Amino acid sequence: MNRAKLRLAALAVGLVFAGSAAGADFLATYRLAKQNDAAFASARASLEAGLEKLPQGRALLLPVINASGNTTWNDDENRVTATGVTNSGQFNSNGWNVTLTQPLFRWQNLVQYRQSQFQVLQAEAQFGQATQDLIVRVAQAYFDVLAAQDNLEFTKSNRVVIAEQLAQAKRNFEVGTATITDTNEAQARYDLAIAQEIAGVNALEVAQRALQQIIVQFPDALTPLRSQVMIEQPQPNVMDEWVKGARGNNFVVRGNEAVMEIASREVERQRAGHYPTLDVVAAAQENTNQNLAALTAGGQRATLSQNTIGLQLNVPIYAGGSVMSRTREAVGLKEKARQDLDASRRAAEFNARQSYLNVTNGIAQVRALEQALRSSEVSLQSNRVGYEVGVRINIDVLNAQQQVFQTQRDLARARYDTILNGLRLKSAAGSLTEQDVEAVNRLLGYDQKPPATAPAPRSGQLERTDQLARAEESPAPRSEPLDLSVPGAVPPDAPAIPSAKPAAASAKTPPARKVAAAKPRTAPARVQPVATQPAPLTKTAEPLPAEEVVMVPAPMAKAIDEPVAPVGKPLIEAAAVTTPAAEPGEDGRVIRYVEPKIPGQE
């Protein structure tokens, strides 16, 4: 028996720990809030009080029975002055009385009974709105916690990636393949990531405390939203249908409609102060008494019994003007109730339209952000590859990384907001119930672990698409080869001068351009060497794209006195060859090219 008890206790403890490890879902959190939320408990107590208005109004139409009794101790003394005789005696007198009053015509009581019916409807509408508000408040706090957790996770991942980029920038600077600017940029981004992580920790704590305020318990773990969740369109997928439902079924509107009816009947009730009242009055009484003379003569006590029934009519004549004043007050309150009802209908229609647009556009935004995330990840891979081959700088990689994390955070927030707006849409239409909570709860869960695959390629080992491979093979894709010669600068029969190979496009990259600690790439880019004597063009060369602008380190080139020609202008592929006879360009400047000095080839 003891072993069985121990096994049951161990099983119970295991289930408790398993539940806490898995995390509380949205449905469990909502039910916990129904038990512990103070605002919802206040609304429930208000409903219980409001339901008592109906029996109170009904009581005004029912008979009123009153009973009373009395007893009196008498000590009498009668002194006759002429004869000097004194008579005294002590006795007890008592009696009771029962009165029944049945209203036959009291118009104000009948109107007040009708008011009580609408007061019950008002209390029910207020409680219904409180229930829907609880669902929305729990959903808001729940998804705020999930969003804060996602934000903190993305911020930490961003910090780790920036730390790796910072370490690589420092290694490149130590070996001389990068400038101190790359290191400073990475360090600035890393410091900013640290500050963002601190803010993320604080935001998560605040969100958890906000949820704790509703459910009383601290939410250690919550079930997240599935990453591949599909959010359906609202049904019916017509805005006017939701607006129509909000105008007639919104709990705030229904409550204000009840208030309007109460105010209308309040005017009627105050006017009834001028009307007469008619009641049936029945009474039964009995009094037992004994006077001093009878007591002196030795008489007995006298008992008087009386039963009566009749009609009682009361006609108000003048009350100092209070009835007219209360009537005017009721008329003013009725107009106020009318305007409040109109305002609540407009607000319900606006909330329905706003929530509907937020849901439909939110679904479209989620799809767009999913595509943006895929594009951002591809852009990050391209920038990392470009940084390895020298066509991108460190700030480009950092910006791409920041864009990926920003898109991930925006996508998660968009999903939460879309689900929350769906709940708000049903709340505006007055159709939000616990079944909708269960429907949202089915969207939560932990994604199953994907099957084991090959590790993702790191920086410099990224898998290239055909388009990226073609871009690397041809850094300057054009329909025709670019003419890099200047007419008249070099005689046609002169021997070909080896052209200067750009640092990023050279097939044989100097050792100074190699990235420190970079792993071999799985698909190295094939770079086409520049022709020593390209064929001349018959049309003007197009400007080079921004991706083909190569940053050459300062020690590898001499200073150029004249301004450098814009990208796309022809350059002389000769060392220290000037072209004074060349025609000036569109900006009136004469172009001169200086052959860069490559370390080790001087």
568-577 pLDDT per residue, tens: 333 333 333 3
Q: How far apart are the first and last CA of the chain?
A: 94
Domain boundaries, the chain: 26-58+108-269+323-441, 483-602
Q: Is the pLDDT of residue 149 over 90?
A: yes
Sequence-ordered alpha helix ranges (H) in 37-96: 38-51, 53-59
Q: How many CB atoms lie within 10 A of CB 129?
A: 20
pLDDT band at 300 (very low <50, low <70, confident <90, very high): low
Tell me how many degrees the CA angle 251-252-255 measures, rounded to the nearest 5.
85
Residue 557 has pLDDT above 80, yes or no: no
Residues 6+ apart with CB under 8 A from 256: 337, 340, 341, 344
Say if residue 431's pLDDT is above 70: yes
Angle between helices 434-441 and 394-428 (to 10 degrees): 150
* DSSP reduced 3-state for 178: coil
Question: In this predicted model, what pLDDT tens digit does every residue of 343-401 receive, in sequence order?
Answer: 999 999 999 999 999 999 999 999 999 999 999 999 999 998 988 888 888 788 888 88
Q: Picking from 99-108, 309-318, 352-361, 474-483, which range would have the lowest pLDDT averaged per residue?
A: 474-483
Closest residue by Cα to residue 360 from 238, 274, 487, 531: 238
Q: What is the CATH number of domain 26-58+108-269+323-441?
A: 1.20.1600.10
Q: Residue 529: CB partners within 8 Å, gap ≥ 6?
A: 501, 506, 507
Q: How confident is the model at residue 293 (pLDDT cuts 50, 70, 90)?
A: low
pLDDT in tens, 494-525: 444 343 333 333 333 334 433 333 344 343 34
Cβ-contact 534, 485 below 8 angstroms: yes
Residue 447: what pLDDT?
Answer: 72
243 neighbors 349 (Cβ within 8 angstroms): yes
Contact between residue 547 and residue 387 where contact means Cβ atoms under 8 Å apart: no
- 421: confidence class by pLDDT, cuts 50, 70, 90: very high
Work out the average pLDDT over 15-22. 40
> What is the reported pLDDT for 448?
60
Q: What is the dihedral of CA 513, 515, 520, 523, to 10 degrees?
A: -60
Answer yes or no: is pLDDT of 531 > 50. Answer: no
Per DSSP, helices labelled H in 273-393 are: 292-296, 322-389
Q: What is the largest CA-CA distance in the chain?
A: 176
Query: Using H for helix, E for strand and C for coil, what is the string for 363-423?
Result: HHHHHHHHHHHHHHHHHHHHHHHHHHHCCCCHHHHHHHHHHHHHHHHHHHHHHHHHHHHHH
Q: Give the model's confidence band at 291: pLDDT under 50 very low, under 70 low, under 90 confident, else very high.
A: low
- The yes-or-no verdict on residue 226 having pLDDT over 70 is yes
Yes or no: say if 91 and 295 are a contact pair by the CB < 8 Å rule.
yes
Range in 40-49, 157-166, 192-201, 535-544 with the lowest mean pLDDT? 535-544
Which strands make up the sheet holding 86-105, listed edge to edge? 64-79, 86-105, 277-289, 302-314
Closest CA to 210 of 310, 260, 134, 137: 137
Q: Cα dist. 435→36, 230, 238, 315 in Å?
A: 20, 18, 22, 58
Please, what's the b/e burial string for 250-259 (b: 16 or more CB within 10 A of its CB; e: otherwise)? bbbbbbbbbb
Per DSSP, the three-state class of 426 is helix
**What average pLDDT does the segment 402-423 reach?**
92
- DSSP secondary structure code for residue 339 in this structure: H
Say if residues 475 and 504 touch (Cβ distance below 8 Å): yes
What pLDDT sits at residue 465? 36
Residues 6+ apart with CB under 8 A from 586: none
Mean pLDDT of 158-164: 88
Q: pLDDT band for 299, please (50, 70, 90 cuts).
A: low
Res 490: pLDDT: 39
pLDDT for residue 594 is more than 60: no
Q: Can you give the pTM of this predicted structure?
A: 0.66
The burial of 314, by beta-carbon neighbours within 10 Å (0-12 exposed, 13-18 middle, 19 or more buried), is given as exposed
Give residue 452's pLDDT: 39
Q: List Cβ neighbours of 476 (8 Å cut-off, separation of 6 or more).
A: 482, 544, 545, 548
Contact 594, 575 (CB under 8 A): yes
pLDDT more than 70, % of the chain: 67
Q: Work out the pLDDT band at 148, boundaries 50, 70, 90.
A: very high
> What's the length of the chain?
602
Q: Which residues contact 44 (CB under 8 A, 6 or more apart)?
A: 127, 130
Average pLDDT over residues 308-333: 92
Distance (Å, whole) CA 522 – CA 519 = 9
Q: How confident is the model at residue 73 (pLDDT cuts 50, 70, 90)?
A: confident
Q: Which two tokens stand for residue 406?
A: 């920003």
pLDDT band of 80, cuts 50, 70, 90: low
Mean pLDDT, the chain, rounded, equals: 75
pLDDT single digits (tens) 82-133: 676 666 767 788 899 999 999 999 999 999 999 999 999 999 999 999 999 9
Residue scoring higher pLDDT (193 or 543): 193
